[in-house]
Amino acid sequence: MTNPVGSPDAAGASIIGAIAAPHSLATEAGLNALRDGGTAIDAAIAAAAVLTVVYPHNVALGGDLIALVRGPDGKVQCINSSGWAAGTTDAAVLRSTFGRSLPARDVHTVTVPGGVRGWEALRSHGSRLSWSDTLAAAEDAAASGVELAPSVARHLLHPENADLHGTSDFDRVFRPDGQSRRAGDLLRQPELAASFSLLRAGGPDEFYQGALATRSITYLQSRGSQLTADDFADFQPETTAPLQTTFGDLTVLTSPPNTHGFILLRVLRAVEELGLADPLGADFGTVMRLFHRANRIRDDSLADPRQVGVDVGALVHDDLTSFAPVGQARDASLIPHGDTVGVSAMDSDGYAVSLIQSVFYAFGSGLIDPQTGILYHNRGTSFSLDEHAPNVIAPRKRPAHTLMPAMTLHDGSVRHILSTMGGQGQPQILAQILLHATRGATAQAAVAAPRSVVGPQYDGATDDLVSYESDSPAAAREALIGSGLFVLEVPPRTEALGQANVVFSEPDGRMTAASDPRSDGAAAVAHFPRALGTNS
């Protein structure tokens, strides 16, 4: 593991790969993709596909994807595969039905799922394995069955998901005898396995134009959706340059709007501009006030720039030092929060991926097609129904989005690959990990360190309340208490404060990887004989 990152060994006969994911079977699938001759891109897709089977409370075939991908030429691109609303969407009709906001779970919150097209777009940046081979482990996991992960079992029992109990499609998969499955129970999903078989044979078009598309549209329309065959067939991801800023000697990159990646960059810039010497200790309260202010800007201004003018420069740079008032908490139901997976992967040929994929709330919409086994997200609940809001729902519009991959470069070389679950708290989690890393923390120490998040991250939290883990350092706790924000102590390493996965390229050329102890994940760095991959 001491070979320089980005270079094979002297004989050119081996490759080093690193991957971190929130479930050990996903990490195993990624390692196998590298072993079989794939790049970090293949590894990330293989892991993400397995996660749609083994971590269905956080991700599914019926969800979205946003990723950063870097190739051997050093160029970093953002793939935004967040889906759009139906072409016939009418906000006025939805207001007359639902009032001031869309419900948390309803068929009208299902936008076109972008994840599968996102995998396709990623592959174009350097896949070496066939599409079919990359998805084989996911099909096998669905067909053979896997032990239910503890995180899934906890979410099945969580009160916020009680509304799903008693719904036939959900119960069939997760509560077949009227009782929620428990950790360790065998979860077999034969219908989902059959969908993966079709997808492997037919390619991505199968999901958007083939039999799977036809079935998805039929199922969703039977529940009242306005999505049509054209909405699925016309959908394509957007590939753009990432947002970036400097922080110390690093270049920090993340996803542009319609995502809230700007928050990470904005606060890192403010840390430097304000000269916060101890941002994880005595100055931590100020950091949380900066995030509190950035969250308010997100909620007021973020929207799909393809349809609404979004001043990205202002989002990142304007008025960095001001704070928002506390004690005027907004309705937390209108602020994004949810469930997601993050996968980080890298190889010594120069490929690197930060991939984020999600169903938004736990188990998304809760709608699971009994014929295909596909669970659909509820990402559309992030839309506003206020006709004056930038983020108001509209035809073919993408909602304001919480998914945000991240990566840092040093002198053009990858230094950190960062990905996390955590809904509205993702920028805060990534910032804290990066701050730990730039102060000398190892990858594992950085993801395991106590963290805090301001906003509706924990049960009962409002947008001006900070949830902090009880093992947080005394200086950080005191800073939070003195910040003027409300505070809530939560248990250490609570899943509600995110599940992060990272790969670091160390200054001496080694790769290190770490998976969050708040998840069921694993991380690995491995050295493989160079195999001849295919790409078809």
Tens of pLDDT along the chain (536 residues) come to 333 344 444 345 789 999 999 999 999 999 999 999 999 999 999 999 999 999 999 999 999 999 999 999 999 999 999 999 999 999 999 999 999 999 999 999 999 999 999 999 999 999 999 999 999 999 999 999 999 999 999 999 999 899 999 999 999 999 998 999 999 999 999 999 999 999 999 999 999 999 999 999 999 999 999 999 999 999 999 999 999 999 999 999 999 999 999 999 999 999 999 999 999 999 999 999 999 999 999 999 999 999 999 999 999 988 887 888 887 655 544 343 457 999 999 999 999 999 999 999 999 999 999 999 999 999 999 999 999 999 999 999 999 999 999 999 999 999 999 999 999 999 999 999 999 999 999 999 999 999 999 998 887 788 899 999 999 999 999 999 999 999 999 999 999 999 999 999 987 779 999 999 999 999 999 999 886 544 44
Choice among 134, 259, 286, 340 that is catalytic: 340
Residue 521 falls inside a structural domain: no
**pTM greater than 0.75:** yes
Q: Give the domain extent around 435.
A: 240-337+421-514
Residue 415 falls inside a structural domain: no
CATH number of the domain bearing residue 304 = 3.60.20
Same domain? 331 vs 385: no
Same domain? 425 vs 382: no
Q: For residue 339, what is the enclosing H or E element?
A: strand 339-347
Q: How many CA atoms lie within 13 A of 97 on its CB side?
A: 12
Whether 248 contacts 286, CB under 8 Å? no
Of 374, 403, 432, the residue that ends a domain is 403
Number of domains into which the chain is organized: 2
Task: Return the structure tokens found at 487.
Answer: 């505070």
Residue 399: name the closest of 378, 429, 421, 427 by CA.
378
Whether 130 contacts 329, CB under 8 Å? no
Residue 260 falls inside a structural domain: yes
Same domain? 214 vs 251: no
Whole-angstrom distance, CA of residue 360 vs CA of residue 113: 12
340 noted as active-site residue: yes
Residue 529 falls inside a structural domain: no
Residue 531 falls inside a structural domain: no
Whole-angstrom distance, CA of residue 243 vs CA of residue 313: 10
Q: Tell me the sheet residues that pair with 376.
A: 62
